[in-house]
Amino acid sequence: MKKLLHVAVYGLVALGVLAIGSLNSAIAAFPEKPITIMVYVKPGGGVDVDSRKLAEIGEKITGAKFVVKNKTGAGGIVAMKYILEQPADGYMLFATTKSVVYKVVTAKSDVNLSDFEWTAMTQSDPEAIITNRDLPVNTWEQIVADAKAKCAEGKRQIWTGPAAGGLDHVTAMKTWKAAGIDPKCVKYVPFKGGKKAMIELLGGRGTVYVGNPRDTIGQPKFKIAALSRGGRLSAYPDAPTFKELGIKGLDSEIMWRGFAIKKGIPADAQKFYENLFDKLKSHPDWVAHVGKMSIDPVYLGPKAFADVIATDKAEVTKWATDAGILK
């Protein structure tokens, strides 16, 4: 009888071990193959560089393999449509930015932003008003005075940046309104990509370039005349914030960067990404990577990030309508 009891006990223990093992296997089932990070810019672009750094650090954090692929076109819309054609299995992350959301709205794309789960916002990059220090107009005060002077002459001050109706264009319009600059005195000239817009500033064909602090790296002629941030950046101690310049309401204009995925992924994939991005924000390699570009590392999960997307969509709709881009 005792022997039978022992056998029964051992049998139950064995079953328990198998059950626990099966549970652990189920929890650890994702990922079973490499994860693709889909990038909407060409190799070497900022989003591409960030994605390759995530792939490197992500493997350290999780042991999973990541592969970066580039699919350009229509400011991210081509990549988004491709992702939505794939299974919602969690194996394709979309490296995205605020500009993509703006592009979907201003291009009147049929991409539904609600078809994505906004997995993680990972970077907060302040918007900056950038000038050419070799030009006579390079401080904020000089920008305002020059805009008024040109207006009196029947001319317009030129601001440059990427994409009509994009984040930088909206930032320009917000800046004019907050600073009391008559829109008739200024003109935003969009270019296909920030590099071409920066060349205009370097050549003196524009007075202001709207971008981010990272755009000044390796450009000794560039100067930040105004910064949208609560405080100054340590790498740019001489760059004043809008608040310091007496301009209200422009303390948190940012280019966010992050990652999205097709909605409906399995629960184990969701847990995997929660763990990855929660640890990423404080990983020393990631902090160093974004820090050298004067970007703040953050982590907003799906719910909080989705709220940001809704706000951005409403905001760009309003400003693009006011500017006549949307009718």
Q: In the chain, where are the structural domains located?
A: 35-124+254-322, 128-227
The one-digit pLDDT tens for each residue of the chain (327 residues) are: 444 444 444 444 444 444 444 444 444 589 999 999 999 999 998 999 999 999 999 999 999 999 999 999 999 999 999 999 999 999 999 999 999 999 999 999 999 999 999 999 999 999 999 999 999 999 999 999 999 999 999 999 999 998 888 899 999 999 999 999 999 999 999 998 788 999 999 999 999 999 999 999 999 999 999 999 999 999 999 999 999 999 999 999 999 999 999 999 999 999 999 999 999 999 999 999 999 999 999 999 999 999 999 999 999 999 999 888 888
Q: Over the stretch 279-310, which tens digit does the pLDDT of each residue have?
A: 999 999 999 999 999 999 999 999 999 999 99
Dist. CA 131–CA 240, nearest whole Å: 13
Which phi and psi angles does 300 have, rounded to 5°? -110, 125
> Which overall architecture, per CATH, does domain 35-124+254-322 show?
3-Layer(aba) Sandwich (3.40)
Q: Over the stretch 261-272, which tens digit does the pLDDT of each residue have?
A: 999 999 999 999
Q: What is the pTM of this model?
A: 0.86
State residue 28's pLDDT score.
57
Q: HEC string of the chain?
A: CHHHHHHHHHHHHHHHHHHHHHHHHHHCCCCCCCEEEEECCCCCCHHHHHHHHHHHHHHHHHCCCEEEEECCCHHHHHHHHHHHCCCCCCCEEEEEEHHHHHHHHHCCCCCCHHHEEEEEEEEEEECEEEEECCCCCCCHHHHHHHHHHHHHCCCCEEEEEECCCCHHHHHHHHHHHHHCCCHHHEEEEEECCHHHHHHHHHCCCCCEEEECHHHHCCCCCEEEEEECCCCCECCECCCCECCCCCCCCCCCCEEEEEEEEECCCCHHHHHHHHHHHHHHCCCHHHHHHHHCCCCEEEEECHHHHHHHHHHHHHHHHHHHHHCCCCC
List the Cα angle 204/234/311 in 5-degree steps. Answer: 75
State residue 323's pLDDT score.
84
Fold identical between 35-124+254-322 and 128-227? yes
Q: Over the stretch 5-32, which tens digit does the pLDDT of each residue have?
A: 444 444 444 444 444 444 444 445 899 9
State residue 16's pLDDT score.
47
Indicate the CATH number of 128-227 among 3.40.50.300, 3.40.190.10, 3.30.1130.10, 3.40.1080.10. 3.40.190.10
